[in-house]
Amino acid sequence: MPTDSDIIRTLSTVTTATVTTILLKKGLRNVWLRGAMPIRTGQPRLVGRAFTLRFVPAREDLATPESWSSPKSTRAAIEAMPAGCITVADAMGITDAGIFGDILCARMVKRGVTALITDGVVRDVAGVLATGLPVWSRGVAAPPSVAGLTFVDWQQPIACGGVAVFPDDWIVVDDDGAVLIPAALIEEVVKSGPEQEALEAWIMKEVEAGAPLPGLYPPNAETKARYEANRTK
């Protein structure tokens, strides 16, 4: 089994598009977290284990400013986040209450969190951007989380963007969005990812040289033989 460092290093070179194709061949179709898109351009491809946060609909006796000081609060959850994790927040697709703002994101940076992924939105966007924390979300909104959400717990199974995410599953995120890799399949993806990227890079060169697509993409037996011969040169 590869180490976490090996996984991160390898998958940092593999696109989310390639990951979804590999997982599709394994029978997994629902792995792309809907709505979680980069909050700014130029964010790097990132890889990490999922640290999950769970919100439910706001209930007036629970979703209050006082709840921010509760033992079960986003503040407490941040203090439990290990360095290198990717925080994945289930905000049920709510877009009119920002789950995190600049101060919480700044603390996540200090904790060594790799990125924040949510199917909801953030607030204090200028400040969030200034923290340098990579964020993928549905956008931004001024109201605080308690205007539409109640935070209930962390490191539980969640549904983010319609995808089941369990603690310590793997997340790969780039300009195409965030993709889940079940922990049990990470070794296969790490093995297949670079191979698929190398094959498609070779196919792209063939296309640029004028080759037609039938038999090339996807490759038939003859094309595969040519590719293998090219690799061994």
Quote the pLDDT of residue 63.
67
CA distances 229 to 27, 219, 222, Å, are 30, 14, 11
Quote the pLDDT of residue 68.
73
Quote the pLDDT of residue 69.
77
Residue finishing a domain among 142, 158, 181: 181
Helix, strand, coil content of the chain in percent (nearest 5) = 35, 25, 40
Cis peptide before 218 (omega within 30 of 0): yes
Per-residue pLDDT, averaged over 191-196, amounts to 96
Whether 48 has a pLDDT exceeding 70, the answer reads yes
Helices (H), 38-185: 74-79, 102-111, 125-131
The answer to whether 45 and 12 are in contact (CB under 8 A) is: yes
Structure tokens at 16: 């989310």
The answer to whether 43 and 134 are in contact (CB under 8 A) is: yes
* CATH number, domain with residue 47: 3.50.30.40
Residue 5 within any structural domain of the chain: no
Residue 62 within any structural domain of the chain: yes
Quote the pLDDT of residue 232.
80
Question: Could you tell me the residue range of the domain that residue 192 belongs to?
Answer: 188-231
> 201 phi and psi, to 5 degrees?
-65, -40
Widest CA span in the chain = 69
Per-residue pLDDT, averaged over 201-225, amounts to 96
Same domain (yes/no): 198, 108 = no
pLDDT band at 80; cut points 50, 70, 90: very high
Whether 76 has a pLDDT exceeding 80, the answer reads yes
